[in-house]
Amino acid sequence: MYTIGNVTRNTIAMVLAGGKGERLSPVTLNRPKPCVSFGGKYKIIDFVLSNLFNSGIKKVYILTQYRAYSLNKHIKESWAKWTGLGEFYDTISPETSSASEEWFKGTADAIFQFLRFIESANADYVAIFGGDHIYKMDISQMISYHILNKADITLAALEVPIEEAKRFGIFSVDEDFRVTAFAEKPQEPVTIPERDTCFASMGNYIFSTRKLIEVLKEGKKKHADLDFGKHIIPMMLERDDRVFAYNFIDNLIPGMRHEEKGYWKDVGTIDSYYDANMDLVNVVPQLNLYNYKWPILTNQSNLPPAKTIFDEEGRRGQSLNSHLCGGCIISGSTVRRSIIGPRCKVNSYSLVEDSILFDNVEIGRHAKIKKAIIDENIKIPDGAEIGYNHEEDQRKGYIVTESGIVVVTN
């Protein structure tokens, strides 16, 4: 663990939250990926924003773009309320704020378009984080590590087995974890010295402010589609700037259990999104939402408590190994190993198993739902069966993944 005083006081954050999330379609057809529900009551973006907030970083710009209304509304109704004098959680979008009114063309181009916010911030460090991953992290420890190394940029790194490394951008490092090379999805990944694992990029960066401004202006002269992984990091390595990797496994948060160390999920596909949600219903989940020393924050609604009703043979309201959100009613039905979002109702004699229900879903009587993701505001008719006959599911217009997850959006 690395800590140096109050390092977050002189830090601002830029959160990249404009992605369409095409691989997560169809649940991203009407919302950006960071605004997709997760764990019932949360949005995906709540995890990085909670990490920043809990780490003491409360000057945060959230860069939105694709179908930004729902995400902007979520930030305004929750995060914007929790800041004090001189603090902010604010959304900015290219269609409303950029002088050129152009869409972001790359991750670094998104930051470049709002360089004036950084130049006027009087901050020593800039944390640039993605808005679409599930994990817990004390970012102040990464900033302290950055300061100790007198780094120009520090890259958050996930230690992965060599057989998985081909799916990531991989850093080559020396014995001091100074980065010597970067390769995107290499066929022959380079391992960490004296280990049989590799350092994969998490897409999260700490920059010294002056260096960030310098390299963005230099890079933009050469590349219209300026990107951190593709252009900025290789350029900084060529210039012999001080580039260091920060091992995420070393990050410790208050109240962390041993099995949580290193937990990080890229929920970029339907399968990975489903698996990460199902992680939560394990008896001892790797991601502990009940750690009140490092809470995951979100919009606190005024919904009533969830309830189960009826207790008679064949018509018993029960929820087993599941998460139920506020306003849910499990009415004479059974829910197993599922995530049930706010204001859902599961009517009598129905069965929901291994499924994820978004906000305000209603399951009719005598329905059977298995291994499904059901989008918000959908009413499943009485007697419907989903997840039992995939050919029939597809005839109804539902998406069925290769692993058998059924996605219902209409």
For residue 101, is pLDDT > 70?
Answer: no
In one-letter notation, the amino acid at residue 342 is P
Computed over every residue of the chain, the mean pLDDT equals: 93
Same fold across 7-279 and 307-408: no
201 a known binding residue?
Answer: yes
Q: What is the pLDDT of residue 331?
A: 98
Please, which residues bridge with residue 373 across strands? 356, 407
> Poorest-confidence range of 88-97, 115-124, 306-315, 378-387?
88-97
- Mean pLDDT value across residues 291-302: 93
| pTM of this structure | 0.94
For residue 98, is pLDDT > 50?
Answer: no
301 a known binding residue?
Answer: no
3-state DSSP assignment of residue 92 = strand
Of 20, 23, 27, the C-alpha closest to 358 is: 27
Domain ranges of the chain: 7-279, 307-408
Each residue of 373-391: pLDDT tens digit? 999 999 999 999 999 999 9
Each residue of 10-34: pLDDT tens digit? 999 999 997 777 889 899 888 989 9
Q: What is the pLDDT of residue 3?
A: 58
Q: pLDDT-derived band of residue 100, with 50, 70 and 90 as boundaries?
A: very low
169 a known binding residue?
Answer: yes
With vertex at residue 169, the alpha carbon angle to CA 29 and CA 265, rounded to the nearest 5 degrees, is 50
Do residues 133 and 248 make contact, with C-beta atoms less than 8 angstroms apart? Answer: no
For residue 95, is pLDDT > 80?
Answer: no
Alpha helices in 150-287 (DSSP H): 209-220, 233-238, 270-279
Do residues 373 and 406 make contact, with C-beta atoms less than 8 angstroms apart? Answer: yes
Each residue of 35-94: pLDDT tens digit? 999 999 999 999 999 999 999 999 999 998 878 888 999 999 999 888 887 899 999 887
The residue that leads in pLDDT, 312 or 300, is: 312
Q: Which residue has tokens 């773009």? A: 65
Would you state the CATH architecture of domain 7-279? Alpha-Beta Complex (3.90)
Q: What is the pLDDT of residue 7?
A: 78
185 a known binding residue?
Answer: yes
Tokens of 130: 């993605």
Percent of all residues in the chain with a pLDDT value above 70, rounded to a whole number: 96
Alpha helices in 120-199 (DSSP H): 139-148
For residue 182, is pLDDT > 70?
Answer: yes
Give dist(CA 229, CA 243) in Å, integer: 13
- Mean pLDDT value across residues 178-201: 95
Q: What is the pLDDT of residue 102?
A: 56
307-408 is classed CATH 1.10.10.60:
no
Each residue of 225-245: pLDDT tens digit? 899 999 999 999 999 999 999
Tokens of 55: 């780490």
Q: What is the pLDDT of residue 20?
A: 73
For residue 213, is pLDDT > 70?
Answer: yes
For residue 97, is pLDDT > 50?
Answer: no
Q: What is the pLDDT of residue 42?
A: 97
